[in-house]
Structure 1
């Protein structure tokens, strides 16, 4: 009888707890919270989708410009919706600082263009390059290399073949310091006056001696004094090299003072600029301050290959 009474009591207690208005309210609140979280997550995802186009930039195709000749392409950026959602999910609110991007390549690349000289990088890329043509000036190279190293800056050194033959250790020093080397002809002739055979010979012999001394293949050709013909550029392309000129000239061979050289560069330098210089005393004495001022303009300094890369610089 006692067992029966206890069983009845438990049944009544269970019925009462399930049908208790307080319990109903608590359960309803749990259900309501679950729906709210789901709605919040869905709202966040949709917010990212809605806002994404505001932050996206289309890629820019490589092209032949009427003035600047060949100009490399530049990657665009697109919001990675799922990665961005995952990045913001913890806080549950849209935060543009937590957007995740992926780069979108252009349809036309520098390699797709017909042979054409290159005078600058893409105008939207906040990067510049130092083009240092070397056929003489050994006494100033150590100081220039030391200054570049102190600023953790790399440059593109265009080497004359005959110079490399006579100075293989200096050529190796340049490469071992992390710099890029390119072809600057073998004997510094006026390339505009050479026939096809002579042009090819100048380039091939220089490529051979640079690779023998440094182990590096040249992918860029800088004609001495900027002198070339269309045929010069085509022959370089046949040898898997693109022809590089410059955007800003230091005119350091005229022995300007550091202030003159720096003013000449800083007043003209901009996104994509390539700065021509040589291992002269003027450049050696100006380089430290010049690098500092260029960086203060928000420009990164790197080799020509980096400048010509379509990789977008994301802040």
Structure 2
């Protein structure tokens, strides 16, 4: 009668097999994450390159035209150029203002044609509204906008996908002045200065208190070594 002995692997072999299995699992997880990141591109841009000491100002305009001339004077005096996102309907009523801003070297972006929540629209209506704003702005400046700031910062995957298919980068913000709620100029200054960071996109609107806060914001940011610029100059192209 033959007796068979089962030879168990040594402890060293077991450890090597365990390490190999762990490495294989890590590589698999990494590959899956990379695959997801490739296909999950329907996300807006909240901030720019954090390696450079730059901050972008993004001014959404659907009202407040009485404060824009003073804003432009402040920017010109301080050699600052920013990005204005215009509602198409507003731009059609104020073409000379849009044209002046464009000629002064500021960047023009789209804020949609109607100040409406895009997530409430059908795919067709969403596309129609973005295109209508594009036509209005291009007619005034002669240049197609490439940046889109959805009204209210309201978006979903469909909104971002449609905008990107139409050739836009969808822009939100990393620092909000919340100036539409009528805070004091000092509060606006503090909101910006307490949270300023490399690559920040600072959201603002043409309001009386924003105009009063701007000189101090610009002064303090420059003292900290920041360059204040347009959105396109801070964002990293994710495509």
Report the TM-score, using the length of structure 1 for normalisation. 0.62
Instruction: Note if contact 2:81-2:228 (Cα within 8 Å) is conserved in structure 1.
Output: yes
Q: How does 1:64-213 map to 2 (within 5 A)?
A: 114-213=41-140
SS in 2 for 1:308: coil
Instruction: Tell me, yes or no, if structure 1 residue 287 matches structure 2 residue 214.
Output: yes
Q: Which has the larger radius of gyration?
A: 1
Q: Which runs of 5+ in 1 are unaligned?
A: 1-69, 71-107, 311-315
Partner in structure 2 of residue 223 of structure 1: 150
Instruction: Note if contact 2:45-2:235 (Cα within 8 Å) is conserved in structure 1.
Output: no
Instruction: Tell me, yes or no, if structure 1 residue 243 matches structure 2 residue 170.
Output: yes
Greater than 2 Å deviation, 4+ residue runs = 112-115
Cα RMSD between the aligned structures?
1.8
CA drift of 1:192 comes to: 1.2
Q: Which runs of 5+ in 2 are unaligned?
A: 1-36
CA drift of 1:257 comes to: 1.1
Instruction: Note if contact 2:177-2:204 (Cα within 8 Å) is conserved in structure 1.
Output: yes
Instruction: Note if contact 2:49-2:236 (Cα within 8 Å) is conserved in structure 1.
Output: no
Instruction: Note if contact 2:55-2:199 (Cα within 8 Å) is conserved in structure 1.
Output: yes
Q: How does 1:10-21 map to 2 (within 5 A)?
A: none
- Decide which of 200, 203, 214 is 1:273's aligned counterpart: 200
Once residues 305 and 227 of structure 1 are traced to their aligned partners in structure 2, the CA distance between those partners, rounded to angstroms, is 21
CA drift of 1:113 comes to: 7.8
Partner in structure 1 of residue 223 of structure 2: 296
SS in 1 for 2:186: helix
Partner in structure 2 of residue 306 of structure 1: 233
Partner in structure 2 of residue 233 of structure 1: 160
Structure number with greater CO (CA < 8 Å, separation at least 6) is 2
- Decide which of 246, 252, 261 is 2:188's aligned counterpart: 261
CA drift of 1:114 comes to: 2.3
CA drift of 1:217 comes to: 1.2
Once residues 209 and 170 of structure 2 are traced to their aligned partners in structure 1, the CA distance between those partners, rounded to angstroms, is 26
Instruction: Note if contact 1:115-1:242 (Cα within 8 Å) is conserved in structure 2.
Output: no
Partner in structure 2 of residue 38 of structure 1: none
- Residue correspondences, number: 202
